[in-house]
Amino acid sequence: MAWFRKKDRPAGPEDWSGYRQRYGQECRRIWRRLVPPAGQAATVQGELLREIEKLYHEAWGNGNINWDGDFAWFCGNLRDTLLGAGCFQQEERQAIAQVLEKIEACGRYAQAWYEGGVPEESWEPEKMAWLEEGAYSFLRDMAARFSLAQPEPIPFQPERELYR
């Protein structure tokens, strides 16, 4: 069985406009039970969703103006945890990697811009933040699927050096 409906399948690695979240109820359950009001979560399941929401809000709300090593760490942690979980099909794993790569590339570009590393005459605003709602919904679904595959809470050791 396909991992999402054919009409939801992205036309390419950057076109997620047709993707509709399927595990919203599970995401709400995780958020209510496992994500604290502030700081890092005590479980891997809660932390994955918290990190996705941090990335989403940084892109959508701030245009990645605050992008730093913490956001890059979130991308790496999501990539390592989801790809190493063993509960996703190859096509899903490729999509997870592509989405996180695009989010991180936009964040690095925004960071370079705000630090003066991109000349004003060559600035490309569309590279600052990836605003494909479907891509973030897909990541939320993958975090929910991870949680469903790992129903027992997995302790998360917070990174003490993270600011976000």
pLDDT of residue 1 exceeding 50: no
CB 45 within 8 A of CB 147: yes
Instruction: Assess whether pLDDT exceeds 70 at residue 96.
Output: yes
pLDDT in tens, 114-151: 999 999 999 999 999 999 999 999 999 999 999 999 99
What pTM does this model have?
A: 0.91
Residue 13: predicted pLDDT? 57
Mean pLDDT in residue range 67-80: 97
**19 vs 158: which has the higher pLDDT:** 19
pLDDT mean over 42-67: 97
Burial 115-146 (b: 16+ CB within 10 A, else e): eeebeeeeeeeebbbbebebbbbbbbbbbbbb
